[in-house]
Structures are given as structure tokens and as C-alpha cells.
Structure 1
Amino acid sequence: MLEVNVKEVIDDLKTVHDFLRWAVSRFNEAEVFFGHGTDNAWDEAVALTLFTLYLPNDIGDGVLHTRLTKTEKQQLIDIYLRRIDERIPASYITNLAYFNGLPFYVDERVLVPRSPIGELIERQFLGLVEQPPQRILDLCTGSGCIAIACAHQFFDSEVDAVDLSPDALDVAAMNIHNHELDDRVHAIQSDLFSSLSGQKYDLIVTNPPYVDREDIDDMPEEFHHEPEMGLGSGDDGLDLTRKILSQAAAHLNDGGVLICEVGNSMVHLIEQFPSVDFHWIEFERGGLGVFQLTKQQLVHYQPLFDEAVK
């Protein structure tokens, strides 16, 4: 636990900027891990500070030079130290995360949104789909962020947001309602495709659990606040992905496309299916391990995928 002279901090630091600088120094001193919506100490400190002071995200830089009351100073110290001592990602403290510029309620029932698939949604899957999809499936939806972001980009679409976890679906339903999309985005409990008999889609987007056993064991403490059900998928991280590959074709319309994220487990996937022509997508803002396969390809490779899940 980090030792802090609270009286000294309250007496010597005056402005919002003073406290942001102090927080960044303490985060770096404590070697806090960033990777849940922010990737650096400054942005993490800003998120916690704005939340604590009830300030909007779009407030101008002028507020940095405003002075704080003693009560506000103590509240900021408390929240910074909670982030350090408990290693809780900021989004779980604030119950707020942003994905594609949209706000989402999050808590420890769901992963903090951070998929590079967001970049593809912003571009409306340019070059990956033949035409704007009318029916979209977000498989393993978690907070519902991918389903909701897709609905915002494709105004005429119907989106099914599917997850096995009832807890995750409660969060997804809350976000769907908050975004006023109850009429177009539907939260459905299903073990992958098991409750979707007869349903077909133009686009299946999935960010399933894909972390392999070794990476689960080596993850920074912050990740262990997230539901392990949303992270791990067997020794090689591909238990669910193999099932998705085997079953997806039956739920795609002709011309349909599967977009699937497997992160670092792409190495295992390529090794297991060396003959499969995965289209690995490149991202302008960073990220890897997301592939595209068309329905035609899924059908072509169906025997391989079926064999892998036996």
C-alpha cells in the first residue's frame, strides 16, 4: 500500500492541475497498469478527477487552474489511492466506459470495452461487407457495446446481442435502454448459437473469450477484477472460437460475413488451421488478432472446423 502524507498534499496542492500531476506521479510510482479504456497515467487521472468533481468530459482546459476545496482534495486523494491500492480499473470505479465515442455503464459483471473492432464499426466495415447489413449478430456481447455501436452506425439494422451470462445481459439491457434502442437491439441469453435456431444474419461480429491459460496466469492484477468467464477459453484460448467457426455458416445469409477477434491467440489459430485463408485485418489505431471470413469460406472449410470441435 502506498504511503501518503495526506496533510501535506492537502496543504501544498491547490488546483485541479496540481492534483492531476500528483496522481500521475503516484500511479507511475506504484506501477499501475493501464489497458481498460486508457493507456496512460494522465488519461486515467483525468477520468477519475472529472468523475469525482462531477465535471463533464468536454470541459475546457481553464478548469485545470481552478482551486479545490479541502473536501474535494480529500475525495480526489481517496479515489486515486483506491485505484492504486485495490488495482481496480477506473471504469469500474466510475461505472463508465466509452466505446466509439458512446458512453456505457460497466461494472465487474462485464469486461471494460476496448476492442479494436470499434474502428471497423466507425468505418461501417468498409471493404469487409458487400452492402450495409440489415441483420447483425453480436455474439458474446458483454456490455452490449459492439451491438449498440453497430445500431448507431446502421440505422436500418436489427441487432441481436447474445451472451451466456445473465449478469452480462443485465448490463447489456441497461445500456440498450439508456441508448433508446430497445426496438432494434435485443439482448438474448444463449450459449453461442444454441438459442438462435433458424436465425440468419448478414453480419456476425464476435469478441469471444480468447485468452490462453498462460496469459491468464500472467495478467496484471487489474484484469482479475474482470469476469474470467469473459477472458479465458481453454489452454490455447480458442475453445469458443472453434465452435463459432464450426457453427457460423449456418447462421449467415448468402454473402454474409463473420468478423471475429482472437487477440494474441491468433498464433494458435494460424498454427491449428494453416490451410485456412484468414483475412487478418489491419488497424490504423493499433490492435491485432481480428479476422474476417465470408460465408462461402466458412462452408468451404467446414470439414476442418467440424473436425476441430469433435
Structure 2
Amino acid sequence: MTVPTVAELLQSACAELERAEVFCGHGTDNYWDEAVYLLRHVCSWPVDVDRSVLQQPIEREPQQQFEQLLARRIAERIPAPYLTGEAWFCGIPFNVDERVIIPRSPIAQLITAQFRPWLLQPPANVLDLCCGSGCIGIATAAAVPSAEVVLSDLSDAALAVAASNIERHDLAERVKINCGDLFAGLQGQQFELIVCNPPYVDAEDFATMPAEYRHEPTMALVSGDDGLDFTRRLLQQAPDHLTEQGLLICEVGNSAVALEEAFPDLALTWLEFEEGDGGVFVTDRDQLLAERHRRA
């Protein structure tokens, strides 16, 4: 029997993924990267493995393991990071499973820039609200070594994953966990920066999403008919937890249009990214207080 090279195995896998019309959107945007993601896990290759490996023959055992993962990826529509138990965000690996959504926010680009130019100085304290796996807050702690970070989420299950990532990256001294709905458990605490990637998918979009998204926790995705149930509460309560010059950065994805319609007078700056989708805004404490007063 002819032993395939790594490249041949990957090309064959790409053809299978394409025939099956699987959806790529959980860390990759094409079939080649999707196949590489699975094979790299099986072979324990580093992210920057040399491309010369493509011409090497693949041994039978890793080939079989890869084919088993590929079969599950196709038949069950399980996103690749759930099959490997690992996702990458800001160049950092994170533990993931079906208790948390898979990291993929364009907010990563803000983190690597230490939130410049929106903050003139790196933030001293940060709240990662709706933290899920903790990827935003932990990546912020890694990018800003002086920052104290709180990861907060309503889900105990998600926070267990976040705790494993704090331990994985040895950040327990600077990254703490809070369990509560919105700002519950954070009374009296104020932050220079609140970063939030909340549930924001509206009912219509959720009904038409690819099967891969059904593996992610619904409570982390869906937020009412227009996707804004959580965000409305956030905008109302956030100014009480921001310092005088504090900023709120929030992702609302496709619900951006609905948000502008619901809050026509609230000054929101919509951010543009070199990679990934938009739907991320920044606003400050003064603007949020003004909006609250208008609605009082």
C-alpha cells in the first residue's frame, strides 16, 4: 500500500470537507486550514511547524487518528477546536469544550495593540464580562503585564474552563473570577476598561446558523428577538462600574444595526479591523451616563 505524504493526506481531507459542505468559522475560514488544525493536533506539531513536513510520509497511526477526527467533523458537524480541546486567540492556546463558545472575536486585534489609541496608557484594571473561556481577559493580562483582570460570567460551567486557562497560563495572581449575572458580585468595583463579548445573536439569525453553532452553548449566543436583551442592560448599568475616564468595548456583531436604531442618541464609535468581522463599538462613561439620563 502506498503511504501518502502529509500534503496528499491534507488535500484529500480538503476534498472531503468541501464535498460535505462543512462550515468553517471557528478559527479557520478555509478547508485547508481546517484540515491542518486537526492533523497538527494529532501529530503534536507546533503552530509554526516547518512546511517541509508536507513532503514527509504520514505514519499509519496518526493517519487513522486524523481520519477518525475528520469523520466526526463531517458527520457530527463538531467544530475542530472542540475535537482537539484547544483554540488559539491572540497567538495563545486556550482550553475549550462545549461549555464555552470558541474564541474568534476581532477584539484580539485591540488586545495586541494594548487598546491604543483608545486608551493612552495600558489599563490598570480590566473586566472581561461574559468571559466564557476567559480568552479576552487572559490575553489582555498577557499583553498588559501590569493589569489586574476580572473574568465574569453567569455560567459556572464556563468559569470552570476559564479557571483551567488561568492555571494553564500561570496568571492566578493577576486574573480573578467572578460568577454572576451582568455586574452581580462586582458591587462597588470600577474598572478602567470593560470588554464584553456578550450573547448578541437575534432569533432570526440563530434559526439559520450552520449546524456547527448548535454545539456551542445557546445562552452564550442568543439574546432575544433582536439580539440586544443583554446589551440593553449592559449599557444601563456599565457607567456605575467604570472609572471617570473608563471605556466600554463591546461586540454586538450583526445586531449593530438594531443597536443604532434602539439607541440613536448614544455616541458609539464603530471599530474597523484588518481581519475579521466588525460589529464592535467603544464608548465611555460620560456618554453612557448621558444616555441613562435621557431615558430616566
Say yes or no: TM over 0.5.
yes
**SS in structure 2 of the partner of residue 109 of structure 1:** coil
Alignment of 1:152-301 (within 5 A): 152-301=142-291
Cα deviation for residue 118 of structure 1 reads 0.5
Cα deviation for residue 153 of structure 1 reads 1.4
Cα deviation for residue 75 of structure 1 reads 2.1
Q: Aligned partners of 1:265, 1:300: CA distance in 2, in Å?
A: 22
Q: Aligned partners of 2:213, 2:49: CA distance in 1, in Å?
A: 30
Alignment partner of 1:34 is 2:24: yes
Q: Aligned partners of 1:166, 1:174: CA distance in 2, in Å?
A: 13
Q: Aligned partners of 2:150, 2:226: CA distance in 1, in Å?
A: 28
User: What are the superposed Cα offsets for residues 45-95 of structure 1, whole Å, 9 maximum, x if unpaired?
Assistant: 001011112222222111111112333332222111111011000000000
Alignment partner of 1:68 is 2:53: no
The CA RMSD measured in Å over matched residues stands at 1.2
Note the residue ranges of structure 2 that are not aligned, 5 or more in a row.
none
Contact 1:129–1:256 (CA under 8 A) maintained in structure 2: no
Cα deviation for residue 190 of structure 1 reads 1.1
Note the residue ranges of structure 1 that are not aligned, 5 or more in a row.
1-10
Contact 2:3–2:57 (CA under 8 A) maintained in structure 1: no
Contact 2:153–2:159 (CA under 8 A) maintained in structure 1: yes
Moved more, 273-282 or 181-190: 273-282
Contact 1:138–1:160 (CA under 8 A) maintained in structure 2: yes
Q: Aligned partners of 1:66, 1:153: CA distance in 2, in Å?
A: 37
Q: Aligned partners of 1:117, 1:154: CA distance in 2, in Å?
A: 15
Moved more, 283-292 or 38-47: 283-292
Q: Which amino acid aligns with 2:179?
A: Q
Cα deviation for residue 275 of structure 1 reads 1.7
Contact 1:13–1:19 (CA under 8 A) maintained in structure 2: no
Q: Aligned partners of 2:140, 2:79: CA distance in 1, in Å?
A: 25
Q: Which amino acid aligns with 1:237?
A: G
Identity %: 50
Q: Which amino acid aligns with 1:112?
A: I
Moved more, 286-295 or 68-77: 68-77
Moved more, 264-273 or 63-72: 63-72
Partner of 1:6 in structure 2? none
Cα deviation for residue 131 of structure 1 reads 2.3
Contact 1:130–1:255 (CA under 8 A) maintained in structure 2: no
Q: Aligned partners of 1:135, 1:70: CA distance in 2, in Å?
A: 50
Partner of 1:7 in structure 2? none
Q: Which amino acid aligns with 2:262?
A: Q
